[in-house]
Structure 1
Amino acid sequence: MKGGASVEIVEQTVYHSRRNSFGGHSSFGSFDSFHHSHSHVITNSFKNSENYLALESFLVGDGHTVLTVGDGVFSYPFMVQLPPRLVSSFGRAGTPLAYRSNDSRGESDVTYHLEAGMKLVGREDLVMSKPISIHAILNLNTLSEASLVGEVEESKTFRRICFCLGCQSNPLSVKVRIPKMGYLPGETISFQVEVNNQSGKDINDLTAQLVEVVVVHAMDKTKTLLTTVTEEIRRGETGAYDNWQGELVVPQEGVVYPSKLGGGCSIIDLDYFIKVTVHVVGCCSLNLEVVCNYSLEPVVHVSPECQVSESF
């Protein structure tokens, strides 16, 4: 990484050094709120962080020797050699925690910054900081699973009458298929959904979502944050047999991030999967979920998922 630092001095200045530094770290924080009584709300916090690197070099001086400079504008070029396989920059804020109430939110990020400073004699140091984005470079050709077909199938039966444990319908079966498991930003994910509905239940619609799942770790605890990246909806009546061929476009880099953040992050684990939901008309709101953990790189970790839900 190459750049330059410029300093404008309006009067003679005594200083020890001019330096630049580059650092990066990841962090996570969440807040779970729940009502303990009618008048009290209890909030539990959950935090963790880790540092990746801290590189520092002197542009002028050594930090100890006293230097004097007159007024004027001075420019100092610099070059920072970045380590290989840095964790990719990442940021999510206000994300709902999976399987928690609407009052539970979390935020996680991986940030890097470039800092330039001037160590003055007898005065407070002058420091300026600028955020820097790091994008991990991963090669799909090195991942054998990226070209594999992803396929999952699941079925569900329903109660013909609510609260009647022995009144089960015939099954509703759903199969989801994607042609490969490795995608790049801007690429289109073609998917096929086969529905075999022998349950006698009416289907409102089908949805396909590209979902980001972030699992964060702190000591012996974990939290899961889910974000829907993009979505397609198939509306209209569906017969006993249906075949839906649709597409989801992977957003550009910065909206999605490399799976596993390129590797090397021990507190944030990021992947992507495709979730297909069949919305069934009924009075018993139960969900059917299947997750297959296929590894997709460099940007999308896609796992087909089938979900059947009932709604009024």
Structure 2
Amino acid sequence: MGKLKSLYIQLENPKAEYRSGQIINGSLVMESSKEMIVKDIRVTFKGFAEVLWMIVGRLGERSYTSYYTASELYLDQTVPLYGKGAGVGNKNYIPPGKYVYPFSFALPQNLPSSFQGYHGFVRYIVSGTIEKSMKKKYEAEHQLIIIADLDLNEVPNAACMTEKEEDKYICCLCCMSGPITCKLTTDKLGYIPGETISFHVEIQNFSGKICKNYVKFYWISTYRSKKSFITSVEIIEKVKHRRVQSGRSESWTGNLSIALKSPISNLEGCSIIDIDYYVELVVVPINSFEKNIHVPIKIIIGTTPLKMDNKRGQLMSGLSTFELEVPGDLRLQSIHPTARKSEIFNIESSPFHERIFGSEDMNDEDDDRRRRYDWSD
């Protein structure tokens, strides 16, 4: 019996980042200490999405747990490298030594972007297999990052400055005070990772209450099964401002940063996970039983920036083409699965962009995207 010392996949692109339609070039590398009898050597490319969450409840004196799950398959293709699949036969003798089997694979068009969230993921993997018999085989795998193109120049109104305004009357005991008028304006609707969102806030406080106010930048991920859905909210950045006194007005500007590794909006091509980004003004009347005032504007994060001649758009008031009414007090709904089931999501308390894409250092041999196997004693 032959003895395999190591088996791993080596890609020409060390970052393992690709766009739909691009060609993946790499090699399956194996090293054996003795002669091996091999039936087949191949690499397989897979792309898929999975969502999973659970709801724990109580009905009378009895508790129950409901699981919700869904999956989609985008890619499952095998490339033969040697042996039966390559037309060489199913009994091949390989002398001891190190062997490199190159491969090349063209990705299909319109693949959804890679994504890792609280209750689901979109994942791409290339796996290498050495099959010795029907019951014995060796495998190694490498995670791929797929980035779907979203050209902001093709998104209507992406270059337009957008504003939204909300009014609210505050009750003071038995009397109705004047309104609180809140307006939020963003410099445009479409951005790419690494850009800065510029915003402007105007607040007129004619109520009898002092108001705290801040602007937050957050994203909502929605996970769907056939019977239900769940959302999770993550605050990316929050900018606070001084309080607005009763009978006074306040106007201020600020900036919000978009991380370089932010996932693209919408997750086009995936029907069980959605991603939406919002910039929202929140005004909090102090010592009041009234709910906070929320002024959200939905923005789009794409891959291709706006051209210079598209950056001067007209002002859009009220709800834009992309805006979605968000409940005023939308809270994080993160009911995690059991530890055993949540392992498939690799949920970690790491920074935002690292949880989505992992470490930026792809040259580390211990990176979890590349699994290198060693069968030596």
State the TM-score, normalized to the length of structure 1: 0.83
Which residue of structure 1 aligns with residue 144 of structure 2? 132
- Bigger Cα displacement from structure 2, 215-224 vs 187-196: 215-224
Matches within 5 A, 1:102-141: 107-121=119-133, 123-141=135-153
Q: Which residue identity is paired with 1:280?
A: P
Question: Cα deviation per residue 1:88-144 (whole Å; 9 max; x = unaligned)?
Answer: 111122xxxxxxxxxxxxx12111111000010365110112211112222222223
Contact 2:168 2:293 (C-alpha < 8 Å) held by counterparts = yes
Contact 1:33 1:42 (C-alpha < 8 Å) held by counterparts = yes
Question: Cα deviation per residue 1:189-223 (whole Å; 9 max; x = unaligned)?
Answer: 000010011111111x3221111112222114222
Which residue of structure 2 aligns with residue 274 of structure 1? 279
Q: 1:31 aligns with which of 16, 41, 54?
A: 54
Give 3-state SS (helix, strand or coil) of 2:266's partner.
helix
Contact 1:176 1:305 (C-alpha < 8 Å) held by counterparts = no
Which residue of structure 2 aligns with residue 85 of structure 1? 110
Which residue of structure 1 aligns with residue 332 of structure 2? none
Q: How many positions carry a matched residue from both structures?
A: 287
Matches within 5 A, 1:209-288: 209-238=216-245, 240-253=248-261, 256-261=262-267, 263-288=268-293
CA separation in 2, counterparts of 1:306 and 1:269? 15
Q: Which runs of 5+ in 1 are unaligned?
A: 94-106
Give 3-state SS (helix, strand or coil) of 1:282's partner.
coil
Contact 2:190 2:302 (C-alpha < 8 Å) held by counterparts = yes
Which residue of structure 1 aligns with residue 311 of structure 2? none
- Which gives a bigger RCO, structure 1 or 2 (Cα 8 Å, sep 6+)? 2
- Bigger Cα displacement from structure 2, 287-296 vs 22-31: 287-296
Contact 2:52 2:120 (C-alpha < 8 Å) held by counterparts = yes
Contact 2:44 2:126 (C-alpha < 8 Å) held by counterparts = yes
Contact 1:212 1:229 (C-alpha < 8 Å) held by counterparts = yes
Give 3-state SS (helix, strand or coil) of 1:80's partner.
strand
More strand as a share of residues = 1
Give 3-state SS (helix, strand or coil) of 1:137's partner.
coil
CA shift, 1:41, in A, is 4.6
CA separation in 2, counterparts of 1:76 and 1:139? 37
Contact 2:281 2:295 (C-alpha < 8 Å) held by counterparts = no
CA shift, 1:231, in A, is 1.5
CA separation in 1, counterparts of 2:328 and 2:31? 65
2:91 counterpart of 1:66: yes
Using a 3 Å threshold, how does the CA distance of structure 1 residues 238 and 115 change in structure 2: closer, same or farther?
farther
Using a 3 Å threshold, how does the CA distance of structure 1 residues 306 and 171 change in structure 2: closer, same or farther?
farther
Which residue of structure 1 aligns with residue 204 of structure 2? 196
Which residue of structure 2 aligns with residue 75 of structure 1? 100
CA shift, 1:308, in A, is 8.2
Using a 3 Å threshold, how does the CA distance of structure 1 residues 122 and 80 change in structure 2: closer, same or farther?
closer
CA shift, 1:40, in A, is 5.8
Q: 1:12 aligns with which of 27, 30, 35?
A: 35
**Runs in 1 of length 4+ with deviation above 6 angstroms?**
299-302, 304-309
CA shift, 1:266, in A, is 0.8
CA separation in 1, counterparts of 2:106 and 2:172? 66
Matches within 5 A, 1:292-303: 295=300, 297-298=302-303
CA shift, 1:251, in A, is 1.1
CA separation in 1, counterparts of 2:275 and 2:121? 11
2:186 counterpart of 1:178: yes
Which residue of structure 1 aligns with residue 366 of structure 2? none
CA separation in 1, counterparts of 2:274 and 2:290? 31
State the TM-score, normalized to the length of structure 2: 0.70
Q: Which runs of 5+ in 2 are unaligned?
A: 1-23, 306-320, 330-377
